[in-house]
Amino acid sequence: MSDPIIQLDNIEKHFGNVIALNGVSFDVRAGECHCLLGDNGAGKSTFIKTMSGVHQPTRGSITFEGKPMSFGSTREAMEAGIATVFQDLAMIPLMSVARNFFMGREPVKGWGPFRRFDVDHANAVTMAEMKKMGINLRGADQAVGTLSGGERQTVAIARAVHFGAKVLILDEPTSALGVRQTSNVLATIDKVRKAGVGVVFISHNVRHAMAVGDRFTVLNRGKTLGTAKRGEITAEQLQDLMAGGQELAQLESTLGGTV
């Protein structure tokens, strides 16, 4: 098994007297999807913001590609190869897919005062990268707001991979999607993992995590309750470890189906 791309050891994060993370350890390897599971309030958002350079840890260490690392900003983390796709996606609906794809990294042509956005190059790259992810756009110039939620997620993921992400952090990528869109996003995650990118999949949905995950770590009230590999733990056992899992299992039993 390869060494982790990024490894966090005994991470603590305090906000005044509030301890959001209390000794969290986590790592991800190339070509692996490591799922971080937890209910609302478990500390998932604080953890990914600490991993991606938004927050500095109060205690603990971060090792990236075998070297001690302290990211001072999200830009530093991105330049190192850690990309985060947040739930809001940070896209402008009325702008084209290509414009959103290259936002902040626009290819240009021309010289001096004649430099301008290279539309043809941007459109060609966008179409090609989206096709790799299984999405055939009508055109790269269509407004990103015309895409489905799952397609917009795929744009964000394809953009991160194209710009050299070694670790891709996905913050609840399936939380607001329907069944078909969720299936498409999970298939995209599988493609990214097989391309050698380390994927951190943050979710409170055990079944979505089980569909693509290689390892599973449960976060509960700022602490990790353990890590298991695929095949070592069932969806029901993971659910029980999460806050409220036992109550949900009892409700499922009472209703005679799944919630």
Residue 151 lies in a domain: no
Residue 122 lies in a domain: no
Could you read off the pLDDT of 202-223 as tens digits, one per residue? 998 999 999 999 999 999 888 8
What DSSP letter does each residue of 33-55 carry, written as one string? Answer: EEEEE--TTSSHHHHHHHHTTSS
Question: For residues 157 and 201, is the Cβ–Cβ distance under 8 A?
Answer: no
Residue 119's pLDDT is what? 93
Residue 29's pLDDT is what? 95
Residue 220's pLDDT is what? 87
Residue 113's pLDDT is what? 85
Residue 240 lies in a domain: yes
Residue 241's pLDDT is what? 82
Q: 200: domain CATH number? A: 3.40.50.300
Residue 258's pLDDT is what? 52
From the list 155, 199, 143, 206, the residue with the least C-alpha distance to 181 is 155
Number of compact structural domains in the chain: 1
Residue 177's pLDDT is what? 86
Residue 208's pLDDT is what? 93
Residues (pLDDT < 50) of the chain are 259
Domain boundaries, position 233: 6-93+163-255
CB count in 10 Å sphere of residue 56: 12
Residue 242 lies in a domain: yes
Dihedral angle over CA of 194, 191, 210, 8, nearest 10: 60
Residue 137 lies in a domain: no
The answer to whether the pTM exceeds 0.75 is yes
